[in-house]
Amino acid sequence: QKEVEQNSGPLSVPEGAIASLNCTYSDRVSQSFFWYRQYSGKSPELIMSIYSNGDKEDGRFTAQLNKASQYVSLLIRDSQPSDSATYLCAVSRVAPSGSARQLTFGSGTQLTVLP
């Protein structure tokens, strides 16, 4: 089982629709959860972070975390063509050395928003 799994997609939604991206993780001691957006040829850009169970909203983005189910999701409301990118789920936990945090990425979901 991969440490962090995402629905691989690709995912296509029409402009104005809600895009739903899902992620599960295997390590119960994971403490911090992130969503990154990566445009083709660019570096990952942090768009959401979530640390406790429930929903966190930031503009058109809502992150949801359920630690009991080991599940993280990202909803993008009123999707725009400019949202077309690969979305990476990332999970952070203390490294075995105990002196740093380690970030593990899912394989990413490619989202296309159709005009």
Residues in contact with other proteins by CB under 8 A are: 32, 34, 36, 42-46, 49, 51, 88, 90, 92, 95, 97, 99-108
Instruction: Give the residue with the Cβ less far from other proteins, 55 or 78.
Output: 55
Please check whether residue 45 is in contact with residue 37, taking contact to mean a CB–CB distance below 8 angstroms.
yes
Instruction: Give the residue with the Cβ less far from other proteins, 43 or 115.
Output: 43
Residue 39: CB minimum distance to other proteins, A: 11
